[in-house]
Amino acid sequence: MIPHRRRSVFVRLALLTAGVVTVASLAWGPAPWNDDGRNPDPPPVRPTAPGPTPAPPQASAPADPDGQRPAFGAFLDSEAAGIARMQQFSRWLGGTEVRVAHTYLPGDVWSNIEGGHGFLDGWAEWRRAKADRMLVLNVPLMEHNEAEVSDTAVRRLLRRAAAGAYDEHFRVLAQRLVDLGATDTILVLGWEMNGTTYTHRCGPDPEDWKTYWRRIVTVMRSVPGQKFRFDFAPTRGADAIPWPECYPGDDVVDIVGMDSYDQPHGMSFDEQISEPYGLQFHVDFAREHHKPISYPEWGMFRNGDDSVYMLRMLDWMNEHRPLYNTLTDYCPHGVWQCTGNPRASAVYRAVMSTVPAPQPTPGPTAPVPPVPARSPTSPAH
């Protein structure tokens, strides 16, 4: 049986989807999934023909048992624009406080992976402004990280990395974060390591990859004043290698994350839960290892403007209580800067907004005609 608290949340979300998504489709109409436009403020709802208006559900974000909103945010841009947009994103959500900032260090050259050239200054300033904020920083583990490097070359790089060739780069990064006062940054090291996209992938040599992760964490923890947390975040599913084969050990992992987009095409949310190394496996794995979970990247993808995915993902996170989640907010994944997902956007905005949906204005009520008397009938067989 579904516990009462979760059942009530799911019912509220289901009702919200039925009402809000209908409004979204009337207001915005269909839009292509690959539209790269931005939608800081959605267009006004077009007037419709008069008729009976059902009362819309109250829209509110899932709440923690202690009354605190779960920590959430969105990736809005890697550099200073991402910081500026956070306040606009909050306004779009009716003033909901966005507690998590998420950005990525450039993976082109080592000096950028070290956080050089003032890249981290604004993010650290944002983090220091309020005690309950979180800064999530994705850290590439190799330079030329999106250069389509061959497996053979990756093996050579991982062999050097496991021997300590790149330790100093991470010592510099750790010291820079401490000097800026971002001492409790959550570091997503080598994200989506189970795939094929990045030079920092695990598949070509899992053992050296794990040794490399352990070296990085050891080096960064050695810097005085740090309170970093390290997030191990594969992509959902098996991908190129089962991601548990890349897990470097409980002593060097603080959070077990997962990047989970609405893909592949045609896969239902139930299948995303039950697939090998999917959402349920992730939750169970983290529980077995006594770690909190996170969702550093999530959003729409191969299935287009999927309001059901949005509904189910929000409910999944409400049930399983990740330490934080950050939606990827650009097309085709996003809800605010992307105009391609109006229905999913409407669900996200209504659920996460602090402002409840408006109640309809009462109007004159038509008299109810009397119900005619009916003769008794024989019971149905």
- Give the separation between CA 114 and CA 303, rounded to whole angstroms: 37
Q: What is the mean pLDDT of residues 130-146?
A: 97
- 149 DSSP 8-state letter: -
Rounded mean pLDDT, 323-336: 98
Q: Which residue has the tokens 């080598």?
A: 190
Q: Which amino acid is at 147?
A: A
- Is the preceding peptide bond at 264 cis, omega within 30 degrees of 0? yes
How many whole angstroms separate alpha carbon 44 and alpha carbon 25?
12
Cβ atoms of 327 and 334 closer than 8 Å: yes
* Residue 356 pLDDT grade (very low, low, confident, very high; cuts 50, 70, 90): low
Higher pLDDT, 55 or 198: 198
* Helical H segments across 222-341, by residue range: 269-274, 279-288, 307-320
What average pLDDT does this structure show over 24-32? 36
Mean pLDDT of all residues in 147-168: 98
Distances (CA, A) of 75 to 319, 322, 325, 330, 337: 23, 17, 10, 8, 10
Report pLDDT for 326: 98
The pLDDT assigned to 362 comes to 54
pLDDT in tens, 249-302: 999 999 999 999 999 999 999 999 999 999 999 999 999 999 999 999 999 999
pLDDT at 57: 33
Q: Where are the beta strands (DSSP E) in the chain?
A: 72-75, 100-104, 134-139, 186-189, 229-232, 255-257, 260-261, 293-294, 298-299, 325-328
Going by C-alpha positions, the residue among 294, 190, 203, 210 that lies closest to residue 252 is 210
For the cut 50, the answer to whether the pLDDT of residue 196 exceeds it is yes
pLDDT at 41 (0 to 100): 38
Answer for the pair 347, 20: CB distance below 8 angstroms, yes or no: yes
- The whole-angstrom separation of Cα 112 and Cα 332 is 27
CA distance 286 to 123: 29
CA distance 315 to 333: 18
Please state the rounded mean pLDDT for residues 298-322: 97
Q: Residue 160: left (phi > 0), alpha (psi -120 to 50), or beta?
A: alpha
CB 17, CB 311: distance < 8 Å = yes
What is residue 354's predicted lDDT score, i.e. its pLDDT?
77
